[in-house]
Amino acid sequence: MNQSTEIKDWYLSEFKKFENSLNGESKLPIHQLRKEAIDNFSKLDFPNTKEEEWKYTNISPLLKYNFKPASGKGNVSSNQISKFLFDEMEKSLLVFVNGQFDEKLSKIKNLPDGVVAGSISNAIKEKSLVIEKHLGKYADYKDQIFTALSTAYTKDGAFIFVPDGKIIDDPIHVLFLTDSSEENILSQPRNLFVAGKNSQVTIIEHFVSLDESIYFTNSVTEIFADDNAVVNHIKLQEESKKAFHIGRMEIGQGRGSNFTSYAISLGGDISRNDFNSKFNEEGSECTLNGLFLIDGTQLFDVHTLIDHAKPHCNSHEHYKGILDDKSRGVFNGKVMVRQDAQKTNAFQENNNIILSDNALVNTKPQLEIFADDVKCSHGATIGQLDEDSMFYLKSRGIGEETARTILIHAFASDVVQTIKVEAIKNYIEEILTKRFNN
C-alpha cells in the first residue's frame, strides 16, 4: 500500500467518526452532499508531479502526516489574537479557531439591516435559503480531491450575506487562527460570501497561527457577486512556515459586477492557491492581484483562471513573487475567452525577483482565445535586482544592503499600494519593512 492510499484510508476512517459526532445534524440536507463528496473522495487520487496542473508542486511531504480533523476550538484568549487585528477598523470581526466559530472572540457592529455575518454552521442549522441556493454550487468537488475532502467534512466557516442594495462601508475581518500545539490537526473552513444586486462589501480572509507548528489548512471559499455588486476580497496568509495550506476560491459574477482580489502569502511549508472566476453575464470586471514572499525551502503555487464566458467584460491580473534561499515559486495563470465573448479586454502579468542562486520560479501565463474582437495581453519576468538601480542608489551614498532593501520593498509595494483598505495596507507594509530590514 503506497503513501497516497494510506492517507486516503485515514481520512475515510476519520469521516466515520466525524459523521457520528454530528448527531441531529446528520439529518439536515447538507449531509447528503457530505456523503456524495466522501464517496467521490474515495475514487480520486492525490495529485502528483506527473499531472500538468501539479507539475512543479510535490505534495508528498503533506502526505506523510495523519492530520486529525479538528474537533474543538482550543482555549484561545483575546490577548493572543490582538497582534493579528487592525485596531482602527475592527468593527466587524469573525474569529474561527481551528476552523470553528468562536463567538466570544468575535464582534459585529453597525451592519445594515438584513446583513448576515457569522457562522456557516448556524446558517445550515437554520436552513438558510441562501445556503441552499449557493453552497457547493461553484466549487465542484467531482475532480478535485482536496475540495471533495473539504465538502465531506463541511462543519463550519464564515457566512456573509449582503442583501440587494446594501452598502457595507467597513471591511469584515475574518480571522482563521490555528492552535495545534497538542497534535497535527486538519482545519477545513468552508466559506460562502454572497453579495446581492447593487450591494458592496469588503472581506478579509486572514490565516494565522499561534506558533510554528505542523498542521494542514484546507480552505474552500465560494463567492457570488450578483448584478452590479462590488466585492473587494483580501486574502492574507501568514501561517506557520511548517504548515501546509491548500486554498481554493471560486467566484461567480453577475451582470455589471466588479470583483477585486488581493492575495498576500508569507507562510507555509507548501502553499497552493487556486483562484477561479467566471463571467456569467455581460459588462463585468475582475481583478486578481497577488504577492508572495518566500524563503528557506518554502514552496508557493498559485493557479488562476478567469473565464470570459460572456462579452463586454474586463479582467486584470498581476502577481509578484520574491524568492530567497532554496524556495520554489509557481505561477500558472489562464485567461479563457470563449467564442461569443466579443469586446473582451484581458491583461495578465507575472513578475518575480530571485534573491539567491538556489531559488527557482516556474511561470506560465496563458491565453486561450476563441473570439476575434478582443484586446488581450500577457507576460512574465524572472530576474534579479536591477544593477543600474543599485548603482544609482550606491552612487548617492546609500550602502549596498540598504539599497537592496529599498529596491525589494519598492518591488513589493507596487502591489500593496493598490489595496484600498488603508489599515490592511499599513499592516502589510509593516510586515515588509520588518522582513526586509532583517
Per-residue pLDDT of 86-144, as tens digits, reads: 866 667 999 999 999 999 999 988 899 999 999 999 999 998 999 999 999 999 999 89
Beta bridge partners of 307: 278, 336
Quote the pLDDT of residue 88: 63
Closest CA to 331 of 275, 283, 387, 282: 275
Report the pLDDT value the prediction gives residue 235, as an integer from 0 to 100: 97
Q: Which residues of the chain have pLDDT under 50?
A: none
For residues 177 and 424, give the distance between their C-alpha atoms in angstroms, rounded to a whole number: 18
- Please tell me the predicted confidence (pLDDT) of residue 5: 85
Supply the pLDDT for residue 269: 97
pLDDT at position 87 = 67
Specify whether the CB–CB gap between 233 and 205 falls below 8 A: yes
C-alpha 231: how far from chain center: 15
Q: Mark out the alpha helices in 198-247 (DSSP H runs).
A: none
CB atoms within 10 A of CB 110: 10
∠ CA 94-95-99 to the nearest 5 degrees? 120
Q: Which helix (H) or strand (E) holds 275?
A: strand 270-279
Q: What is the pLDDT of residue 89?
A: 63
pTM over 0.75: yes
Write down the pLDDT at residue 406. Answer: 80
For residue 180, the model assigns a pLDDT of 78
CA distance 140 to 377: 29
Q: How many CA atoms lie within 13 A of 72 on its CB side?
A: 7
